Each structure stands twice: as C-alpha cells, then as structure tokens.
Amino acid sequence: MDISVIGSGYVGTTIAACFADLGHDVVNVDIDEEIVATINSGATPVHEEDLPGLIAKHASDTGTGGLRATTDYEAVLDTEVTFLCLPTPQNVDGSIDLSIMEAGAEQLGDTLAEKTDWHTVVVKSTVVPGSTEDVITPILAEASNQTPGKDFGVGMNPEFLREGTAVADFLDPDKVVLGADDDRALADMQDVFAPLIEQTDAPVVETDTRTAEMIKYANNSFLASKVSLINDIGNICKEYGIDAYEVAGAIGLDDRISERFLRSGLGWGGSCFGKDTNAIINAATEQGYEPAMLAAAVEVNDRQPQRLLAFMDQHVDVTNKRVAVLGLAFKPGTDDVRNSRAIPVIEGLQDRGADVVAYDPVAVENMREHFPDIEYADTPEDALDGAATALVVTDWPEITDLDEEFDAMQTPVVVDGRRAIDRRDGIVYEGLTW
C-alpha cells in the first residue's frame, strides 16, 4: 500500500521504516529539513537500535526505495492511508497538549481537500479517550470540506513500542489494536497490518477509536503501577533487611503476576509513563473520577530518588564533595533523558552543595541542556576518581561491569538505585530496596 507517516520522532520514523520493511511504499513527512535530509541519505535521525539498518535498507541511494522523507504535505495525496505520529506534550497541569496534533490535522485536512478518492487517517499518537472522534475528526472534516465516513475515514492505532527496542517491538508485537469508527477505515488498517499479522500471528483487537485510545493509557498505567507497586514492596523489604529481588523472583513465578517489570529501584522515567499517567488522571478527574491508585503510583515514583539521596546522607555529607552520578539516560539503550530519575537525583545533590560529576555512554549531550554547569566525565573511571560517593542511576552494561574502578574513590560508598553493582569487601554498599 501507499502510506504516509506524519512526524519523524522515534515512533514515526520507526513505523515508517517498519512499514517499508513489510513491503509498503512509505513517505515520512516532517517539518524539519535536517531530519528529512538525514532519512533520505539513508541515515537515522533518532538513537534507536535496529533502525539504522532498516533506514539504510529502504531509504539510501542503493536501497529498495520503499521509504523516502519530505517536508511537503502534498506527498500524502499519493497515498491511501496517513498515520499521524506527532508529539502530544504535557501541559503544566498534567493534561495533554493537543495543539501540535490539531495543527497537523488542519494541515492534513487542507491537503486532503484536493483528494477525490477515499483516504484513511490513523491517529498513532497517544491521546486521551475522545480526542480522535471529538477533536481530530472534526478538524479534518472542516479543513478538507469533506465528510467523515463518506469521503475519508479515521482510525486510532496505539503504539506499544519501547524506546531502544522499538523496531523489535513493532515487528514482533504482543497485540495489534485497530480502533475505527467506520468499516472502510478499519479495512484499510487491516490491509496495512496484514503482512505483519501474517508473519507474526499477533492477536488483533478491533474496536472503536475511544476504546483504542483507552487501551494505550490502560497499558502504560498498568506497567507504571506495577513498577511503583514493586518499589513500594521493595521499600518495605528494605525496612526489614529483606532482599526485594529475592521476593520479586518468587512472586514472578505466579503467572498471574509474571516476572516482567518487577525490577525495583529508582522508578520509571522516560517520555511516556509520567506523561500518560498524569494525562489520564487529569482526563478522568475532568470526567468526575479521581483515580487513587494511579495517583499513588506517581507519588511512589516521585519518592524513590529522594529515598536514594536519604540513604546516601546516612553515609556521607556531600557538601563540597565530589559525587559521581553513574547513568543519565532514563533507561539503558537510549540517549533520552526526559523525566530521567537522574534529574531529581542531580537536583538533590546540588541542593546539598555537592560537586557533581556525571557519566553516561550516550546521554551526556541531552543532559547538558538540563545541567550545563556540572562536570561530565568521558569514562566511569574518570567520574569515580576521587569521588566521595557514587550513585548508580542507569544500569548500562558499562556501569554494571564496574568493580575495581571503585577503588579509585576517595571513600568507596556506592548507593545503587538499580541493583547494578555486586557487593564486595572494600565497598560500602547501599541498595535502594535490597
């Protein structure tokens, strides 16, 4: 099929490249000329495992030609289905800001005014229930001067892609959710995903757009709450001197619980869990229901970095002392520092008057925008040299492999937020929940 994807963030670029890999002809539309040029040169604009190979395969001069990028919205006219993959940032009150989606829908609608045959628009971005039906569809209708269900159809297809493993998650999904408010839109979405379903046998959930929107929030709310619950349990374990990882290993054997997402520690970061939990709490409250469990999940998550710092305080007064922060990305495998637990940790260290020296294999440049004045080390060894304490924030292999490097510290106090380091003689070790 001929598919257009609007937006070249990590979701847009990933699905564009993956659709091309499934045999579709794909055009990726973005306002950023540099991103467009990068994709057209066969290179990737985002740090995402497996994406460089796919883009090179389909967009480079020697590639299949299945993927190209452009800044020109007119490109959608040569396609049958358009995926909207634009950002939905967070307002200060926690609600989602739909303005970028609204502007994109308007520009898309303006362009579709010229189209004489049927077109399906699929919302891929995470939006609160009702956004597709009550906001995006009316904008498309007004801007195109066309009638939904007659001239064009609208669907909602939430993504469940983790940063760092987005390509693998796309090509081997646990499920595919197709939300549509009319049959022709659903049929187009079925055609888009047919090659994927054929090769993976993934279960397909067909539903309306509101339910599809809610499934995305429910999925992330559940996962975020699961991590907060194991953190709450982990904090209880710590009070008793019990190892939370041993407890998690045992409860994970119950297949109603499952072993996944039971790693307690500093909690969740990233662009999704925090934003999505806040957005659905906010949207539900507007509907008249205040979700107590989700609010508690957010609170537990906010407390974990403070607990890490409090454990550090029990061992060292860090005023005017060198403190190594090991890991800045919100998780290993990405350079993304959005909502990283490193941010409250570094803020807490600065409040205490510490001299922070931070290390991360790939996320330094992104963190420099938040903290331009702290020291950044090229290697973990450099960060640890002369430090009074080390705080482990992200469990990159470069960090979990550390051992004798701690011997270069002034005082070898290791406060571990990710159960990354092995206890041994010569290190004063403090784990967050073990």
Count of H-run helices and E-run strands, the chain: 16, 14
Residue 123: CB minimum distance to ligand UGA, A = 14
Q: Provide the strand spans (E) within 113-196.
A: 119-123, 152-156, 176-180
Residue 339: CB minimum distance to ligand UGA, A = 8
Assign 297 to helix, strand or coil. helix
Residue 336: CB minimum distance to ligand UGA, A = 8
Q: Which residues are catalytic?
A: 272
Cα distance from N-terminal residue to C-terminal residue, the chain: 52
Asked if 406 and 414 touch (Cβ cutoff 8 Å), the reply is yes
Q: Which is nearer to ligand UGA, 88 or 111 (CB)?
A: 88
CA distance 316 to 304: 19
Q: Which is nearer to ligand UGA, 363 or 388 (CB)?
A: 363
Asked if 26 and 16 touch (Cβ cutoff 8 Å), the reply is yes
Q: Which is nearer to ligand UGA, 30 or 163 (CB)?
A: 163
Sheet holding 355-359: strands in order across?
A: 375-376, 355-359, 322-326, 389-392, 413-416, 428-431
Place of tokens 């467009």: 36
Residue 223: CB minimum distance to ligand UGA, A = 6
CA distance 265 to 148: 48
Instruction: Dig out the tokens for 192 from the structure.
Output: 């888009």
Neighbours of 189 (CB within 10 A): 25
Instruction: Dig out the tokens for 270 from the structure.
Output: 């990233």
CA distance 67 to 23: 10
C-alpha separations of 73 from 26, 112, 324 in Å: 13, 9, 47
Residue 261: CB minimum distance to ligand UGA, A = 4
Q: CA 3 from chain center: how many Å?
A: 24
Q: Which is nearer to ligand UGA, 121 or 272 (CB)?
A: 272
Assign 74 to helix, strand or coil. helix
Residue 330: CB minimum distance to ligand UGA, A = 5
Q: Which is nearer to ligand UGA, 269 or 344 (CB)?
A: 269
Phi then psi for residue 70, to 5 deg, are -155, 160
Q: CA 372 from chain center: how many Å?
A: 24
CA distance 328 to 395: 10
Q: Which is nearer to ligand UGA, 146 or 394 (CB)?
A: 394
Angle, CA of 140, 10 and 78, to the nearest 5°: 45
Q: Which is nearer to ligand UGA, 73 or 193 (CB)?
A: 193
Residue 304: CB minimum distance to ligand UGA, A = 9
Q: Which is nearer to ligand UGA, 115 or 226 (CB)?
A: 226
Q: What is the dihedral of CA 322, 340, 222, 180, to 10 degrees?
A: -170
Asked if 259 and 298 touch (Cβ cutoff 8 Å), the reply is no
Residue 267: CB minimum distance to ligand UGA, A = 6
List contacts with ligand UGA (CB under 6 A).
126, 159-163, 220, 223, 227, 261-263, 265, 267-270, 272-273, 330-331
